[in-house]
Amino acid sequence: MKISSRKGNVKSWVIGIIILIAVIAVIVGLNKNARQEVSTGEAIKIGFLGPLTGDAASIGTNAQKGVELAVKEINEAGGINGRKIEVTYEDGKCNAKDAATAGNKLINLDKVTAIVGGLCSSETMAIAPVAEQQKVIVFSYCSSAPTITTAGDYIFRDYASDAYEGFYAAGIAKEKLNAKNVAILYCLSDWCVGIKDVFKKTFTDAGGSVVIEEGYEQSTNDLKTQLTKVKQANPDMLYFVGYTEASIIGINQMKELGVDVPTLGANAWDDAKIWAETGAAGEGKMWAVINTPLTNAFKEKMRSVSVGEVTLCTPQAYDATRILADIMKRVGTDTTKIKDELYKVKDYQGVSGVITLDNNGDLASASGFVTKVAKSGKGEILYK
């Protein structure tokens, strides 16, 4: 009887251990599949990714202030069901290498629930694979490369795809500027290549001709070789796609080399720094950008956290942060639940406009694009 009882006890103990292991396995599996709700009142960690130094830093630092404003408002109103939002800001430097390092830190060390970013398309594409694997939300406020559409189930954006802007810009070139033979100058990044390809296809399909197509490294400090070739090709318009620093260099060198041809840029040219630093060389240059009318109330609120004008993509950074907060109030910090709710965002009234996300996590439709022109160091709307 004693031996039988001892065997029974051993058997019960083994069964108990097996059940415990099974329970632990389930818990580990859940944690691996999604970032789960934390029951304590500790802060909810999110990340910000954008260029805080280097190329496009003037846009990135302004967008950072937009996120700071949104978080300030959310926390002062009680946070997320009593929990504060805590943001870690990382510099993606508008390139894939630095963005990948920053993204890995946010995801694997800081353990963020979501990342508001990146700004440059190369930043977002660099962090998308690890974010998708770890089921961390990525909500970009400025990346527009068409490739982001299929970057992953956890990748979203509230900024329009270049599929819209490239089509619009080609229409302006053909119908407003009466261009027939166009030169294209573009940086070798996800954003530049993506928008260039859409523009080129749309323009040539409409009967136009691309007489020369020159790419350049995003970090370049000299575009004279490419611009000399553009001048020799004798186009009747130049489509120049670039970020802030290279664009400043290129515009100034156009004047030096006598490249005097109507020039149309892309949305990054909405950075006021370009026109402040090019002066007379930039006079008359044009660019396409999403029309984002801002209320005086929002501008005034931004002045409480920032100095200067609200730049490109800052309203979208503010809206992305507010959308994430609204969803977390309803479903908590389980990233699978947040992801599912993001696909349901419809007719959200943001400061950047009405936001609806489609089944790819993209902005379902773009607000009207406009063409601006540089006059006396500032951008004015030329075509609506």
pLDDT for residue 64: 97
Q: Which residue has the higher pLDDT, 366 or 171?
A: 171
- Return the higher-pLDDT residue of 281 and 308: 281
Query: 20-24, 104-108, 202-206, 314-318: which has the minimum mean pLDDT?
Result: 20-24
Which residues are CB-contacts of 348 (< 8 A; sequence separation ≥ 6)? 319, 323, 354, 355, 356
Residue 308: predicted pLDDT: 78
Q: Which letter does DSSP use for residue 201 in this model?
A: H
Query: What is the rounded average pLDDT for all residues in the chain?
Result: 91
Residue-level pLDDT at 34: 53
Mean pLDDT, residues 288-294: 92
Q: What is the pLDDT of residue 102?
A: 98
Mean pLDDT of 128-152: 97
For the chain, percent of residues with pLDDT exceeding 70 = 89
Q: Is the pLDDT of residue 15 over 70?
A: no
CA–CA dist 33, 21 (Å, integer): 18
The pLDDT value recorded for residue 13 is 44
Closest C-alpha to 351, from 67, 89, 161, 126: 67
pLDDT band at 22 (very low <50, low <70, confident <90, very high): very low
What is the structure's pLDDT at 35? Answer: 53
The domains found in the chain, sorted by start residue, are 44-157+295-355 (3.40.50.2300), 163-292+369-383 (3.40.50.2300)
pLDDT at res. 368: 84
pTM of the predicted structure, to 2 decimals:
0.87
- Binned at pLDDT 50, 70 and 90, residue 9 comes out as very low
pLDDT, tens digit, for every residue of 77-116?
999 999 999 999 999 999 999 999 999 999 999 999 999 9
Is residue 133 classed as helix, strand or coil in its secondary structure? helix
What mean pLDDT comes out for the span 348-373? 93
pLDDT digits (tens, 9 = 90+) for 194-244: 999 999 999 999 999 999 999 999 999 999 999 999 999 999 999 999 999
Q: Which amino acid is at 306?
A: S
Three-state SS at 247: helix
Kindly tell me if the per-residue pLDDT of 3 is higher than 60: no
- The residues with which 241 forms a beta bridge, in sequence order, are 186
Are 321 and 70 in contact, with CB atoms under 8 Å apart? yes
What pLDDT digit, counting tens, does each position of 32-64 carry? 445 554 445 799 999 999 999 998 999 999 999
Element (H, E) at 350: strand 348-350
